[in-house]
Amino acid sequence: MAGAQVSLAPYILFVNVSKFISVSFSEYCDYEMFQGQCGSHELMQVIYSEYGHMDIGKCVKVDIGYFGCKADVTGILGARCNMHHKCEMDTRDKQLRQTNPCSSGVVVYLEVTFACVKVVKFPNTKK
């Protein structure tokens, strides 16, 4: 249609997403503190988080036969951290402990994957 104009105002196109998002993953052993931080023009979004006894790594050195006892705690961390520049959560936090993912005496830890999303302000557009 000649002369027709199409407005893309309600849509956001990310051609190079890596300019707008950075993703971090880490393990936090029992008695450590998760400390997530994004840049001054970025906001945090928790992608996935588990609390339990998942695998050999930084916090667990030997398989004692309890791998797989875990709880999805994405909602707990997300409620505290999403849309903030920085966030902290102790691995001994009451909300995490209450998930009781493993038998007493099994070493538990926290895994967190979060993204820092760049805040982009668009100019006001008239429709």
Amino acid identity, residue 90?
A: D
Amino acid identity, residue 13?
A: L
Handedness of CA 97, 99, 104, 106 (dihedral sign): negative
Q: CB of 23 within 8 A of CB of 113?
A: yes
Q: CB of 82 within 8 A of CB of 45?
A: yes
pLDDT at position 18: 61
Note down pLDDT in tens along the chain; length 127 residues.
444 444 444 444 444 556 678 899 999 999 999 999 999 889 999 999 999 999 999 999 888 777 889 999 999 999 999 999 999 999 999 999 999 999 888 889 999 999 999 887 767 666 5
| Residue 81, CA atoms < 13 Å, CB-side half-sphere | 29
CA distances from residue 67 to 3, 11, 57, 113, 119 in whole angstroms, order as listed? 64, 44, 12, 19, 38
pLDDT at position 4: 46
| Neighbouring C-beta atoms of residue 32, cutoff 10 Å | 16
pLDDT at position 126: 62
What domains sit in the chain, N to C, each tagged with a CATH number? 21-118 (2.60.120.740)
Handedness of CA 83, 24, 95, 71 (dihedral sign): positive
Provide φ and ψ at 94, rounded to 5°.
-55, -40
